[in-house]
Amino acid sequence: MRDDTQPEHLWLGTTALDLARPVAAWLGQPGVAVACLDDRSRPYHLFELSGGETLLQQPGGARAAWSIVGGALSVAANSIVVFVRRPADSDCKPSAGTIRVCRVVSEAAAMLGCPLVDFVLVGGDQVVSMASMGVGISE
């Protein structure tokens, strides 16, 4: 797992969509990153999920939820944003599996007091916020 405890160089904006491109560049290749937010919803820690793409494809989404939420709680995150960098030539439309995993992560995060703020898909020139689509994020 790669992480960045002081990733100030990435925090160019204040919303998940503002962070999408810098986080995708930080990942460097398709994968999953989790931004941990403080009590003022400011990002202070970023980590890459080892085997993230594979975890997201596993049935049920429980292992992905455990890895994402467990990693965030280990650094005392108040809330999280998940970024999924897809291959440049892929479509960023969320699949049924992606929506399911987003819901499982959102429900697990909410139960543990670390709500999922957004689940952002980045691929090529597309950025899709599942929260803005009203898909998969528990209130």
pLDDT at 74: 92
Residue 2 has pLDDT above 60, yes or no: no
User: Percent of the chain having pLDDT more than 90?
Assistant: 35
Q: How confident is the model at residue 12 (pLDDT cuts 50, 70, 90)?
A: very low
Class of domain 3-133: alpha beta
pLDDT band at 122 (very low <50, low <70, confident <90, very high): very high
Cβ contact 43:11 at 8 Å: yes
pLDDT at 6 over 60: no
Instruction: Enumerate the domain spans of the chain.
Output: 3-133
